[in-house]
Amino acid sequence: MSADAAEAERVLRPGSAPTLDELVQLRAEFARFMLQYQFGIREMTTKIEILREEFLHLHEHNPIEHVSARLKTPESIIDKVSRKGCDPSFEAIRTTITDIAGLRVTCAFVSDVYRIADMLSQQDDLTVLAVKDYVARPKPNGYRSLHLLVQVPVFLSDATVPVTVELQLRTIAMDFWASLEHKIHYKYDHEVPDDVVTGLARSAATAAELDTLMEDLHRRVHGDRAPGPRRGDPIVPSDDALEHLRRIRDGERGSR
Ligand code: 0O2
């Protein structure tokens, strides 16, 4: 741990009144701490965008519908630190609060959720720290999503820092349900009436059924090609992609 970090951690501890210099130091250290997570988000976003573009140009079906990222706010981190009874040191926060950097990947089909998780997990520089499969085992309220806790290396000027990023992979239907449920929880300040809880559970079951029906339709329409290529499979460009490549070869750049 650097001298700066040690000083910042001393200041973070309750009971010691920090001087102005110490506060300035703490602010700088906190900014550095958050920047690493921002870089972690950027690394992961790039990985997912690369997969998305590859699918867009070279395959018939693109499994990635939407990607969003968020960095936890300092207020939200502090709130979680006190809720979890976490030691207020950067080191403890780093290991205890694992969702400071978060990425949400929305896919069309459940099979896509697992396929993307599989592809990312096999990337050499990524370490999967934990998997929570709320698709196979939904939460009692009906929440479904596949959560991966991954560690990605961030190469700084003087060090390589492993940064933890929480990945949430879900279908459009799962995402629709989760965002509504989230809003309802806030509206009722987490005291959701029983009939609303029941309604949410019922709608979660409907969303799961919709996912099954859509996957089935997808397979029927695309036949054997529906599952799409897996990592390591030879890349077979779609007719569209071939036409695109042909046009580039023939000098019609920018025609698409
Ligand atoms: P936000 O604002 O989305 O970040 P943790 O407290 O994270 O250490 P936990 O609860 O075991 O431990 O984590 P889990 O189960 O992996 O869930 C973390 C995140 O998943 C949540 O983050 C939500 O984004 C999402 N999530 C989990 N359960 C539910 C749910 O029942 N409904 C909805 N809508 N989202 C859920 P945060 O920090 O709660 O919120």
**Model pLDDT for residues 57-107, shown as the tens digit of each residue:** 888 788 999 999 999 999 999 999 999 999 888 999 999 999 999 999 999
pLDDT at 16: 65
Residue 66 host element (H or E): strand 64-71
Asked if the structure places residue 148 within a domain, the reply is: yes
List the residue whose alpha carbon is closest to atom 38 of ligand 1: 99
pLDDT at 130: 96
Asked if the structure places residue 211 within a domain, the reply is: no
Q: What is the pTM of this model?
A: 0.82
Range(s) of the domain holding residue 245: 3-172+233-249
pLDDT at 237: 45
Rounded to a whole number of angstroms, the CA Rg of the chain reads: 22
Asked if the structure places residue 183 within a domain, the reply is: no
166: annotated active-site residue: yes
Which atom of ligand 1 is nearest the CA belonging to 102? 4
Output the CA 238–ligand 1 centroid distance in Å: 38
For residues 117-156, one letter each, b for 16 or more C-beta atoms within 10 angstroms of the residue's C-beta and e for the rest, the string is bebbeeeeebeeeeeeebbeebeeebbbbbbbbbbbebee
Least confidently predicted of 7-11, 47-51, 52-56, 143-147: 7-11
User: pLDDT at residue 50 above 70?
Assistant: yes
pLDDT at 236: 45
Percent of the chain's residues with pLDDT above 70: 81
CATH of the domain at 110: 3.30.460.10
For residue 167, give the nearest of 78, 98, 91 by alpha carbon.
Answer: 98
pLDDT at 189: 87
List the residue whose alpha carbon is closest to atom 37 of ligand 1: 99
Asked if the structure places residue 202 within a domain, the reply is: no
Asked if the structure places residue 224 within a domain, the reply is: no
Domain count for the chain: 1
Asked if the structure places residue 123 within a domain, the reply is: yes
Asked if the structure places residue 218 within a domain, the reply is: no
Q: What is the DSSP annotation of 149-181?
A: EEEEEEE-SS-EEEEEEEEEEEEHHHHHHHHHH
For Cα atoms 124, 45, 36, give the angle at the middle one, nearest 5 degrees. 85
DSSP H helical ranges for 190-238:
194-222
Asked if the structure places residue 90 within a domain, the reply is: yes
Please tell me which residue in 166, 181, 215, 252 is annotated as part of the active site: 166
pLDDT at 256: 29
